[in-house]
Every structure is written in structure tokens, then in C-alpha cells.
Structure 1
Amino acid sequence: MIISIFIVFAIFILFNINKLTNSLCLQKEIPEEKQAKVFRTINVLITILLISSYIEILYT
């Protein structure tokens, strides 16, 4: 039950973070070549954060 709620929460968070990252790239006028690296870095860091949060919730 917890995992299904957390997956929905994680998808919502990732979607919103990607929207904010896109806004950042447009506002700071980051070149197209570097945008992929920015998105990849932010997505990896957010995924690590979500996984560690899930593990903390699971073992608390």
C-alpha cells in the first residue's frame, strides 16, 4: 500500500521538478546542448532523494 502511494507521489514530484527545470533553462537561456546535461543531473539527484526517502519511510 505504501509503495503505490509513494510511486504516485514520486511521479508527481519528478513531473513538477522537470517543469521547474525547463523554466530555469528558459529563464537563464541555457544552450540546447547543455540542457540535456542539466535535466539528467537534476533527475538523477531527485531520484536518489526519492529512493532514500522511501527507504527511510520503509524502515521507520
Structure 2
Amino acid sequence: MISIFIIFAVFILFYINKMTNSLCLQKEIPEERQPKVFRTINILITILLISSFVEILYA
């Protein structure tokens, strides 16, 4: 079950980063701000995935 969740999490992170890149291009976010945007979104998605895993694990 852990391996399935890890594969799912990697897929989610990849897809979210792809959408974040599209957002940066569409909104014309400057190059110097893009790493901060990516870092913030990746941290928030990682927290969401960890909390989902803990909820599934103890439910």
C-alpha cells in the first residue's frame, strides 16, 4: 500500500509542477519569483499528501 501511495504522490507532484509552470507562463511571473512560487506550492502539496497518508494509515 505504501508503494502505491508513493507512486501516486510522485504523479501528483509532477502534475502540480506542470500546472504551476503553466500558471507562471500565463501570468508572466518574473523568473526571479518563480522558484519561490514552486517552493511554496510544493511544500503545501507535500503537507497535503503526508496528511492524506496519515489519515489513510490510521483510518
Runs of 4+ off more than 3 Å: none
Count of aligned positions: 59
State the TM-score, normalized to the length of structure 1.
Answer: 0.98
After superposition, the CA RMSD in angstroms is 0.2
Structure 2: stretches of 5+ with no match in the other structure: none
Structure with higher helix content: 1
Aligned to 2:52: 53
Structure 1: stretches of 5+ with no match in the other structure: none
- Percent identical among aligned pairs is 81
State the TM-score, normalized to the length of structure 2.
Answer: 0.99
